[in-house]
Structure 1
Amino acid sequence: MTRTEKAQFIDELTAEFKASDGLIVCDYKGLNTKAIESLRNTSRPGAIKVKVIKNTLASIAMKNAGIEGLELKDTNIFVWGDDQLAVTKVVATFAKTNPSFIIKSGYAGGIVVDAAKVEALSKMPSRNELIGMLLSTWMAPITNFTIGLDALRAKKQESA
Structure 2
Amino acid sequence: MARPDKAAAVAELTDAFRDSNAAVLTEYRGLTVAQLKQLRRALSGNATYAVVKNTLTAIAAKQAGIESLDADLQGPSAIAFVTGDPVEAAKGLRDFAKANPALVIKGGVLEGRSLTAAEINTLADLESREVLLAKTAGVLKASLFQAAYLFTAPAAQAARTVDALRAKREESTEEAA
Which category describes the TM-score, using the shorter chain as reference length?
0.7 to 0.9
Give the CA deviation at 1:93: 1.4
1:35 corresponds in structure 2 to 35
Cα deviation code 1:56-97 (max 9, x no counterpart): 111111111011121210111111112322321221111111
Q: Which structure has the larger Rg?
A: 2
Cα deviation code 1:22-42 (max 9, x no counterpart): 111111111111110000001
For structure 2, the 5+ residue unaligned runs are: 150-177
1:10 corresponds in structure 2 to 10
How do residues 91-102 of structure 1 correspond to structure 2 at under 5 angstroms? Answer: 91-102=93-104
State the Cα RMSD in Å: 2.0
1:51 corresponds in structure 2 to 50
1:76 corresponds in structure 2 to 77
For structure 1, the 5+ residue unaligned runs are: 146-160
CA–CA separation in structure 1 for the residues paired with 2:89 and 2:105: 12
**TM-score of the two chains, using structure 1 as the length reference:** 0.81
CA–CA separation in structure 2 for the residues paired with 1:93 and 1:127: 18
Percent identity over the alignment is 32
8 Å CA contact 1:26, 1:77 repeated in 2: yes
The one-letter amino acid paired with 1:19 is D
How do residues 117-132 of structure 1 correspond to structure 2 at under 5 angstroms? Answer: 117-132=119-134
Cα deviation code 1:117-152 (max 9, x no counterpart): 110011112221111111222233649x6xxxxxxx
Give the CA deviation at 1:102: 0.8
8 Å CA contact 1:22, 1:87 repeated in 2: no
Give the CA deviation at 1:9: 1.9
The one-letter amino acid paired with 1:36 is L
**What secondary structure, in the 3-state scheme, does the structure 2 residue paired with 1:31 have?**
coil
**What secondary structure, in the 3-state scheme, does the structure 2 residue paired with 1:105 have?**
strand
**TM-score of the two chains, using structure 2 as the length reference:** 0.74
CA–CA separation in structure 1 for the residues paired with 2:75 and 2:81: 19
Give the CA deviation at 1:10: 1.2
CA–CA separation in structure 2 for the residues paired with 1:115 and 1:78: 13
The one-letter amino acid paired with 1:79 is A
Give the number of equivalent residue pairs: 143
**What secondary structure, in the 3-state scheme, does the structure 2 residue paired with 1:79 have?**
strand
2:175 corresponds in structure 1 to none
